[in-house]
Chain A
Amino acid sequence: MDESTELSLSIAHIAQRLQGSHLHSQIERQAKVSRQLPPSHPPAPPEHLKEPLAYMRKAQASWEKRILKSLNSMSTELGVPLARKRPAAEQKELTNKWNEMGTDEPDLSRFRPVYAPKDFLEVLIGLRNPNHDSCEDISARSQWGLIQVPLNVRDIPHLRQAYSELNLNSGQLGIDDHAHVHPDLFENDYVQIGKKVVVEQDSAAAQQYSRRGCPTGLRADLWALILNSTNQPQDVMHYEQLRAGVIQHDLLVDNLIYKDVKLTASNDDYYFVFEDFLYQVLLCFSRDTAVLEHFKYNSATPPKSFLHGKVGDEEYAVVYPPNGVIPFHGFSMYVAPLCFLYNEPSKLYSVFREMYIRYFFRLHSISSSFSGIVSLCLQFERLLQSHLPQLFYHLRQIGAQPLRIAFKWMVRAFSGYLSTDQLLLLWDRILGYDSLEVVAVLAAAVFAFRAENLMEVKSLASAEAVLADLSTLKVIPLIQIFLFATAI
């Protein structure tokens, strides 16, 4: 045997040994992320890594153009430059009140959010696949909902397989830790396992563990472990550099961040306490060029602006804002729940950034990813249509398309709609299954839970009223019942 056969043989041996082990699935997942395509394909052009479907890429590009135009015209109309260096005195002042930016009451009446989820929904509704003639399948598979693109989304039988840990027979935090259930039945042992996972610092185990929920006292550690966000000295330093960047330069998007926090978190019963933390995270985030990395696999492309007087000249183009993410109405709610877990700004920052570049960016870019917002919308509508057809039909008849109500929940991954403890239980599952799919399942489950009341309503407004307050819902039982106790 020559050397190369020997080598390939031993590789085959190792591969066989790995089969079925946890490490194997980890490596496989990692490989998928970095390749994004089956290995047999010829190397794909970079834009295919971002988004394989041409019509999706096109739609995303024209949406970006619109947002950027609106940002630029805001800059011109208000006479506020996109960026400017702060004079020394102002820098000093900002340094002094870094911890209390919330007490500042700048006049923001002239600023309006660049867009709200509503505007984005209209774009998604308008999406069409030019190669697909929707008249063809006017039969049972026809889509009553608003999303009219053919994407593969999982139905309940498939979801049951994928989310097997949530089945009715396995213990869950969010159900089996209820006050009336004796802790010896499930909770105590489960917490012990969680402590072990934290001690072992095993990221894969933490992710698997999170599928059945993280105990409150261990969640901060477990999430950081899953996200590999360890808050090393260099992370702290990185955060300090970003902070210095905020102090040196004033950006137009800062006003949008201020405005958004004032409009959302500052008025929220759960999150108002953390207003200052939100500025400390979001202002730094907008300046973090490390975020640009994620555009390799995000269908979006960072917006570019041109240096003064050089409009159109690519040589003078700069990414703006520096992280390539233009905040929209409600953006700060991606950070707010994390403030319950981390009280150190640099730690809070690194966990948020990791959550963003893994999950949240998918909620406001147009893509065919199964975790992307288009798939979530479609999945929500399909679940509702196939399992609660009467309800769907009724709501459609009265002009209350379900997605019009559920979209705002999904865009924020339910942040700001659920009570915080419930939201964290939901996000446990997002991290555990490394997917946002569960968000669409919960949205459908909420409709199922309120089906009786919704069948009575006669208008969109009254349907919205029935679903206005989700803060009393217990999300895990809802998801579990919807997935495992619905007749199929």
Chain B
Amino acid sequence: MSIQTIRNVFSVDTGYRLSDEQLVNHFPNHYELTRKDLMIKNIKRYRKELEKEGSPLAEKDENGKYIYQDFVPVTFMLPADYNLFVEEFRKNPSSTWIMKPCGKAQGKGIFLINKLSQIKKWSRDSRTSTFVAASSGKEAYVISLYIDNPLLIGGKKFDLRLYVLVTTYRPLKCYMYKLGFCRFCTVKYTPSTSELDNMFVHLTNVAIQKHGDDYNHVHGGKWTVSNLRLYLESTRGKEVTNRLFDQIHWIVVQSLKAVAPVMNNDKHCFECYGYDIIIDDKLKPWLIEVNASPSLTSSTANDRILKYNLINDTLNIVTPNGEIPDCRWNRSPPREALGNYLVLYDEEQAQSENAERDLRSRSGQLLGSKGTKASAGARPTTATWK
């Protein structure tokens, strides 16, 4: 079902009620995660809450940056946060920023700026018609610090598209698809400002790259995550590569935890998200955005196989044993049913494990390091009860 259909299904006006055998592929308010502005808002709120709880996850380094929560580029809402943005921009006037419309996808409406004058329009809006612009949402943009030191492979820029399945938010149960891929720009990356207008250099969206002259229809500029791993392990070593992938898993889980409290956890829902992640040249992953309707069309033969498997494996998890779905299912599929998914985080299981651990060692040292946490979450389910 498309997002629009889902909106209608859950709309009060239609008065439709899903029966127990009906499952749908979106959460009613998925946009809390998948709209750029709302995702940022939720993550900011989540950080504050962690801080208030005194959670070790909200720890900061000597520069006042979160150690474990600094995984989205600095971002502001426009026009709402215009003044905050200006303040930040003035601190580092040579920085480049990327403007994205909140509600659009596939790279539409995106542009780069490195001068304040280029976004004057949004400042005027904020003064004159504050409420109209903000509430209609149509002209609302997010502006993020552009990652200008991306990891280059073969001199080319790329981003990661990873698929993440959520079957429930409370408790959180999510799965990572093993067959993600890297999307490469067809044009050589130059951080120079003269190329600011050439979107082929900066955007990796296939929808954009397809229109470039160099688009190759055999591989479509896509490289499997296993290629990426082989390359990184070969050139940088196994330890740093493992750390990178652990961090990627970590930021996915954190982003989901950030929206879990506000998500309408309807029992009829599951959702498969397309996560876009950029890796910088220090091998730090950055979460760019999350898509509620990742493209399921295929640009190449391999792509077709991948997406076929993705849909197949997703359906196998949400409808165990191929039976008629029942929304009251326990949401703990047996290991054999996972296909190419691996369990990323199972809150229920993690809690029971924690409880056990707490019993054993009363030191109360609760998962200080993210390494152990991520690997604990990534471990395949062995003993799931109920």
Using a CB–CB cutoff of 8 Å, the interface residues on chain A facing chain B are: 99-100, 102-103, 105, 215-217, 219-220, 266-270, 272-277, 339-343, 420-421
Interfacial chain A residues near B235, Cβ < 8 Å: 220, 340-343
Q: Is the Cβ of A217 less than 8 Å from the Cβ of B234?
A: yes
Q: Say yes or no for B368: interface residue by CB 8 A criterion.
A: no
Residue of A nearest to B230 (CB): A421
Let me know if A267 and B234 touch, CB within 8 A.
no
User: Is B324 on the interface with A (CB-CB < 8 A)?
Assistant: no
Which segment of B51-59, B131-139, B210-218, B251-259 sits at the interface?
B210-218
Neighbouring A residues of B213 by C-beta, 8 Å: 105
> Closest CB-CB distance, B351 to chain A, in whole Å?
27
* CB–CB B216/A341 < 8 A: no
The 8 Å CB contact of B233, one of A217, A267, A274, is A217
Partner of B216, one of A103, A267, A274, A276: A267
Whole-angstrom distance between the alpha carbons of A266 and B156 in the complex? 14
Q: Judging by beta carbons under 8 Å apart, are A216 and B155 in contact?
A: no
CA distance A241 to B349 in the complex (A): 61
B45 interface residue (CB < 8 Å to A): no
Cα of A76 to Cα of B27 in the assembled complex, Å = 68
Residue of A nearest to B233 (CB): A216
Docked-complex contact B153 and A272, CB < 8 angstroms? no
Given contacts A99-B188, A274-B154, 19 further A-B contacts (CB under 8 A): A100-B187, A102-B214, A103-B187, A103-B188, A103-B214, A216-B233, A217-B233, A217-B239, A220-B234, A266-B216, A267-B218, A268-B219, A269-B218, A272-B216, A273-B184, A276-B188, A340-B235, A341-B235, A343-B153
Q: For B221, what are the chain A residues with a Cβ–Cβ distance below 8 Å?
A: 272
Known contacts A105-B213, A217-B233, A421-B230, A275 near B154 by CB under 8 Å: yes
- Assembled-state Cα–Cα distance A133/B235 (Å): 54
Give the Cβ gap from A148 to chain B, nearest Cβ, in Å. Answer: 38
Say yes or no: is B245 at the interface (Cβ < 8 Å to chain A): no
**Nearest A residue to B228, CB-CB:** A273
Kindly state the separation between the CA atoms of A482 and B219 in the bound complex, as whole angstroms: 33
Q: Given the complex of chains A and B, what is the CA–CA distance between A274 and B184 in angstroms?
A: 11
Whether a CB of chain A sits under 8 angstroms from the CB of B108 is no
Q: A105-B213, A273-B156, A277-B154 are in contact. Are A216 and B219 (CB under 8 A)?
A: no
Q: How far is B143's CA from A144's CA once the two chains are assembled, in angstroms? A: 71
B94 to chain A, nearest CB (A): 23
Q: Which residues of A contact B218 (CB under 8 A)?
A: 267-269
Interface check B329, CB cutoff 8 A: no
B111: CB under 8 A from chain A?
Answer: no
Which residue of chain B has the shortest Cβ distance to A99 in the bound complex?
A: B155
A273 touches B214 (CB 8 A): no
Q: CB-CB < 8 A to A272: which residues of B?
A: 184, 216, 219, 221, 223
Alpha-carbon distance between A199 and B213 when the two chains are bound, in angstroms: 47
- How many Å from the CB of B278 to the closest CB on chain A? 16
**12 A-B Cβ contacts within 8 A?**
A99-B188, A217-B233, A267-B216, A269-B219, A269-B224, A272-B216, A272-B219, A272-B223, A276-B154, A276-B155, A340-B234, A343-B153
Which residues of B sit under 8 angstroms from A420, Cβ to Cβ?
227, 230
Query: In whole angstroms, what is the CA distance A216 to B227 when docked?
Result: 12
The closest CB in chain B to the CB of A419 belongs to: B226
Between A105, A215, A269, A342, the greatest number of chain B beta carbons within 10 A of the residue's beta carbon is seen for A269
B93 within 8 A of A: no
Q: Is the pair A100, B227 in contact by a Cβ cutoff of 8 Å?
A: no
CA distance A131 to B145 in the complex (A): 77
**Docked complex Cα distance between A95 and B186 (Å):** 20
Leading 7 A-B pairs by shortest Cβ distance: A100-B188, A217-B238, A273-B154, A216-B233, A267-B218, A274-B154, A217-B237
Q: List B residues 288-330 near A (Cβ within 8 Å).
A: 302
CA distance A267 to B216 in the complex (A): 7
Q: Assess the B230–A340 pair: CB atoms within 8 A.
A: yes
Q: Which residues of B contact A102 (CB under 8 A)?
A: 188, 214
Q: Are A269 and B302 in contact (CB under 8 A)?
A: yes
Interface string of B147-171 (1 = CB under 8 A from A): 0000001111000000000000000
Chain B hits for A270, CB < 8 A: 223, 227
From the candidates B154, B186, B216, B238, name the one contacting A216 in the complex (CB within 8 A): B238
Interface centre among B186, B223, B224, B234, by most A CB within 10 Å?
B234
Instruction: Write out the residue numbers on chain A whose beta carbons fall within 8 Å of the beta carbon of B224.
Output: 269
Of the residues B153, B219, B227, B234, contact of A219 by C-beta under 8 Å:
B234
Which residues in B have their C-beta under 8 angstroms from that of A267? 216, 218-219
Interface of chain B, helix or strand or loop or mixed? Answer: mixed
B139 to chain A, nearest CB (A): 35
* Bound Cα distance A270, B188 (Å): 18
Contact among B184, B223, B234, B241 with A341 in the assembled complex (CB-CB below 8 Å): B234
CA distance A416 to B96 in the complex (A): 40
In angstroms, Cα B223 to Cα A275, docked, is 14
Q: A268-B219, A273-B184 are in contact. Are A216 and B234 (CB under 8 A)?
A: yes
**Alpha-carbon separation in the docked complex, A219 to B237 (Å):** 10
In the complex formed, the residue of A with least CB distance to B182 is A273
| Distance A70 CA – B213 CA, assembled complex (angstroms) | 33
| CA gap between A451 and B216 in the complex, in Å | 35
- Within the complex, what minimum Cβ distance (angstroms) separates B237 from chain A? 5
Docked CA distance A343–B221 (Å) = 19
A-contacting residues, B182-203, CB 8 Å: 184, 186-188
Q: Which residues of B contact A275 (CB under 8 A)?
A: 154
How near does chain A come to B92, taking the closest CB pair, in angstroms? Answer: 27
A99 to B154, CA, bound (A): 9
Assembled-state Cα–Cα distance A272/B235 (Å): 18
Q: A99 — which chain B residues lie within 8 A by C-beta?
A: 155, 188
Residues of B within 8 A of A340 (CB): 230-231, 234-235
CA–CA, A269 and B218, complex, Å: 8
Contacts of B216 in A (CB 8 A): 266-267, 272
The closest CB in chain B to the CB of A267 belongs to: B218
Q: How far is the CA of A102 from the CA of B155 in the complex (A)?
A: 11
Contact partner, A339, options B154, B233, B302, Cβ 8 Å: B154
Instruction: Indicate if the CB atoms of A216 and B230 lie closer than 8 Å.
Output: yes
Q: What are the residues of chain A within 8 A of B219 when measuring CB–CB?
A: 267-269, 272
Q: Are B234 and A273 in contact (CB under 8 A)?
A: no
**Cα separation A268 to B239 with both chains bound (whole Å):** 28
- The residues of B that contact A103 with a CB separation of less than 8 Å are 186-188, 214
Chain A min CB distance to B47 (Å): 34
Q: Which residue of B lies closest to A342 (CB)?
A: B235
A105 to B234, CA, bound (A): 31
Complex: A248 Cα to B221 Cα, angstroms:
32
Report Cα–Cα, A152/B239, bound state, in Å.
Answer: 46
**Most B-side CB within 10 Å, residue of A103, A277, A340:** A340
Question: B199 CB to closest chain A CB, in angstroms?
Answer: 15
Specify which chain B residues have a CB less than 8 angstroms from the CB of A216 in the assembled complex: 230, 233-234, 238
Residues of chain B with a CB closer than 8 A to A219's CB: 234
A342 to B230, CA, bound (A): 12
B212 to chain A, nearest CB (A): 10
A105 to B213 CA separation, bound complex (whole angstroms): 10
Residues of B within 8 A of A342 (CB): 235
- B-chain residues with CB within 8 Å of residue A341 when the two chains form the complex: 234-235
In the complex, what residues of A have CB within 8 A of residue B188's CB?
A: 99-100, 102-103, 276
Min CB–CB distance B376 → chain A (angstroms): 18
* CB < 8 Å neighbour of A273 from B153, B233, B302: B153
B25 to chain A, nearest CB (A): 29
Select from chain A the residue with minimum beta-carbon distance to B226. Answer: A421
A190 to B302 CA separation, bound complex (whole angstroms): 35
* Closest-CB distance, B196 to chain A (whole angstroms): 17
